[in-house]
Structure 1
Amino acid sequence: MKNNKRKVLLISHDTSSTAYLAQVLEKSGSYAVKTATTGRAAVGIHKQTAIDLAFCDVELKGNWSSAETVRQLRLLNPLAIIYLTDPASEQLPPPAQTNPANPVTYLHKPVSFDELFQTIDAVVGSLNDKSVAKLPTERLEEVELEDRSELKKHKLGREAIFMIDDNIFIKYNYQFVKVALNDIILLEANNMYVTLITTNRKFVLRLTLSSLLERLNLETLVRVHRSFAINIQKVDLFTEHEVIIGQHRVPLGRHFRRQFIDHFQFR
Structure 2
Amino acid sequence: MLKNYKVLIVEEDMSIVDQLNDFLQETKLNWTVYHAKNCLQAMLILQQEFIDLLLLDLVLPGMSGFELLGMFPLHPPTIVLAEHAEYGAESYNYDVKDYLLKPLTYTRFVYALRRALNQTSSFFASTMALPTPVAVVQPQATPVSKTGAPQPQKHIFLRKGRKIERFTIDDIFYIEANAFHSHIETKDGAAIVNEKISILEQQLTGSNFLRVHKSFMVNIEQVNSYNASSLWCGPHKIPIGVTFRKRVYARLQSLNYVSKS
- RCO comparison, higher one (Cα < 8 Å, 6+): 2
The TM-score, its normalising length taken from structure 1, stands at 0.40
The TM-score, its normalising length taken from structure 2, stands at 0.41
